[in-house]
Structure 1
Amino acid sequence: MRISARAEYAVRAAVFLARAPGRLSSPRIAADEDIPAKFLEGILTSLVRAGIVASRRGANGGYELDRPAGAVTVADVIRAVDGPLVFVRDQRPSDMAEEGALLQLWVALRANVRSVLEGTTLADLAAERLPPDVAALTSDPVAWENP
């Protein structure tokens, strides 16, 4: 599985907003998170459309989360900018014509990705903590190896 730059930037921007005490301008988010400004504008537009971020124009304008950080999962953010979490040859595993163990493998992969990304909220990341079941996955030294 590959996480796109767009998805990674979107999560970073959303976590930055989760930590913010109020509205922030896109130039501030871009500068503090080292995200290309034009790229960030597209990301923020997608997050606004998805109801994750709210925007306000004007002198006191900017961006802020539209829901509590604990109610927004990492999966919500990634889906807002990239669509479904797991695709196999441009199809959702459940929509594939395949049968048997290979299809079950793709569905199991999707279930595990969902478990991690839907089980982790922006509030978790803003607080620099992971849910216990997600954190447990990182305690295995093999998880850190590059095969």
Structure 2
Amino acid sequence: MIRLTNLADYAVVLMSELARTDRRANASDLAQGSGIPEPTVSKILGQMKRAGLLVSSRGVKGGFALARPAGDITVADVIEAVDGPIALTNCVSTAERECTLEPVCSMAVHWQTINEAVRGALAGISLKEISKPVSPPGFVEAAARVTEQAD
């Protein structure tokens, strides 16, 4: 199973919330709104700022805001700011490889292609796209039925 870390998941949640509100927010407000513990929110906000995805300001109206428009920040940017480069296997990792099969492995080049496809998919989704409000499944159909019955 391929799975993101909890921190990466939480980072996407927080960044999409900042994109949705399009205003400055502090760690306390984001923690309260997301249900993510405030120390975790503070840690993630620091990582996002160091990665250049957020800017911060102090003072009464201070807080964190997106450093670029939401359409210019991708899910891949957020994940990589927390977890580092996206690498599905050691074959595509920039870290030291520990695979004993590497010298004879015919899959390494294919894993690179697969990894690029996954990263490309994540890079193709912006915060602007995922911060749009969505209706619960079946909501549109139910609303249409209610409207038809009212007519």
Both proteins in one fold, TM over 0.5: yes
Write the mapping of 1:1-147 to structure 2, written as runs, cut at 5 A. 1-89=2-90, 92=93, 98=102, 100-128=105-133
- Aligned partners of 1:105, 1:128: CA distance in 2, in Å? 37
Q: Report the CA distance shift for 1:32/1:127 in structure 2 as closer, same or farther (over 3 A).
A: same
- CA displacement, residues 62-104 of structure 1 (integer Å, 9 cap, x when unaligned): 1110100000000000111110111524961798582553202
Report the alpha carbon displacement of residue 16 of structure 1 after superposing the two structures with TM: 0.2
State the TM-score, normalizing by the size of structure 2.
0.76
Q: List structure 1 runs of 4+ shifted beyond 4 angstroms.
A: 93-97
- How far 1:2 moved relative to its partner? 1.3
Share of identical aligned residues, percent? Answer: 35
Superimposed CA distance per residue, residues 10-56 of structure 1 (whole angstroms, 9 cap, x where no aligned partner) = 00000000011311111111111111110111110010011101111
Does the C-alpha gap of structure 1 residues 128 and 45 become closer, same or farther in structure 2, counting only changes over 3 Å? same
Structure 1 unmatched runs, 5+: 130-147
Q: In structure 2, what is the Cα distance between the partners aligned to 1:66 and 1:48?
A: 8
Q: Do 2:55 and 2:64's aligned partners in 1 also have CA atoms closer than 8 Å?
A: yes
Q: Deviations over 1:84-128 (max 9, x none)?
A: 111524961798582553202321221121121100000110125
Mean Cα displacement is larger for which, 97-106 or 39-48?
97-106
Q: TM-score, normalised by structure 1?
A: 0.78
Query: Measured at CA, do residues 49 and 94 of structure 1 come closer, stay the same or move farther in structure 2, by a change above 3 Å?
Result: closer
Q: Which runs of 5+ in 2 are unaligned?
A: 135-151
Instruction: Specify the alignment match of 2:142 in structure 1.
Output: none
Change (3 A) 1:112 1:35: same
